[in-house]
Amino acid sequence: MKSSNIGGQAVMEGIMMRHKDKYSIAVRRPDNGIELKTEDYKCIFGKAAFWRKPIIRGVVSFVDSLVMGTKCLMYSAEIVGDEEDEDYAAKTAHLSEEEKAAKKAKEDRQFQWLLYVTVAISIVVSIGAFMLLPYVLASLCRKVGASEIVITIVEAFVKLALFMGYMLLISRMKDIQRTFMYHGAEHKCINCVEHGLPLTVENVMNSSRQHKRCGTSFLFLVMLVSIALHFVFVLVPVYWVRLFGRLLMVPVVSGISFEIIQWAGRTDSKFADIMSRPGLAMQKLTTKEPTPDMVEVAIKAVEAVFDWKAYLKEEFGVEVEDAESDMDVHQTTTETVSSGISETVVTGEAAHGNI
């Protein structure tokens, strides 16, 4: 089976899907229609060949995914809170066109700053909670005479416990559960076409909600890779060097994890299947069975950026006749500068949902 190279993320009441240099956001509006937005993908790091080198591209993809994922989440929140837009329009009705344009430009700048600050805080908190805190807590064992090897082993268990506890906790939150249902719809759509089935609601509902390229699998792999690499610091005699060495190791851990999960997504080998099982098991927490109306939203997001009919014909020899849709869809398209980086990692698992 050839990978479709499509990836995405669940957002509030919707799905973001990306394929090559295009991405779309489909959101269920309060009036039950579907808001569909399509844009050219633009990497925040630019399109220099340097950013596409092994390991480095993993770091680039991770950070870029967080930025895009947060941006898409904010956009979906605006659509879901559509009633507030009517109040905003009433409050600005007295302004001239020039004043409205100036006000919008100011708000766009504020949004951009808020976006980057949110991503920066997310990265700092994630690194602190899952990379540094476990070692600090494990180091308490030194008071009872534990060696550095024992401390590193204890750190591994603390790290996994914090990560799995966090996943278990958020999976029980009501609002997050709906997002995880959309996450399931996203996976089901991709599994549907990658197994040679036409992208219909019925076929998608019958497809698996687990996928090897999921962001949950990526984050779990980051935990495992960091555990292995942190044994490098066992022979370092200075505590602060060991602590901040873990901080400096984060980009390396992210890059290696990216290469592994990309490889696992491209191959059907038994070894890759075994390597993927822990991440797939974790997806039982971060994906839930979607409803048919959620699947409709996911299908619209896929179709906006990916010609699944051409894919089925080329990979499986399956021809699908065109059919008109009667769904109420409001579509907008924005053209931007596209990036040369086409590798997709589950974008923004910090937002709890990326394949």
The string of pLDDT tens digits covering residues 214-250 is: 888 898 999 999 999 999 998 889 999 999 999 999 9
Q: Which residues of 119-134 are buried (b: 16+ CB within 10 A; e: fewer)?
A: beebeeebeeebbeeb
> What token pair was written down for 124?
């700092």
What's the mean per-residue pLDDT of the chain? Answer: 84
- Residue 288 pLDDT class (50, 70, 90 cuts): very high
> What token pair was written down for 245?
């060495």
Residue type at position 15: I
SS3 of residue 342 by DSSP: coil
pLDDT for 161-183, tens place per residue? Answer: 999 999 889 888 887 899 999 99
SS3 of residue 166 by DSSP: helix
pLDDT for 87-124, tens place per residue? Answer: 555 556 666 777 767 776 777 677 677 777 877 888 88
**Rounded to 5 degrees, what are φ and ψ at 354?**
-150, 140
Residue range 317-337: average pLDDT? 60
pLDDT for 37-95, tens place per residue? Answer: 999 998 888 888 999 899 999 999 988 988 888 889 888 988 887 655 555 555 566 66
Report the distance separating Cα 113 and Cα 136, nearest Å: 32
Residue range 278-307: average pLDDT? 94
- Order of strands, edge to edge, in the sheet holding 14-19? 6-11, 14-19, 22-28, 34-40, 329-334
- Please report the pLDDT score of residue 266 as a whole number: 80
- Please report the pLDDT score of residue 179 as a whole number: 93
Q: What share of the chain is helix, strand, coil (3-state, %, to 5)?
A: 65, 10, 25
- Please report the pLDDT score of residue 92 as a whole number: 60
Entry pTM: 0.82
Listing DSSP states for 244-303 in one string gives: HHHHHTHHHHHHHHHHHHHHHHH---HHHHHHHHHHHHHHHHH--PPPHHHHHHHHHHHH
- Helix residue ranges per DSSP H, 19-96: 56-80, 82-91
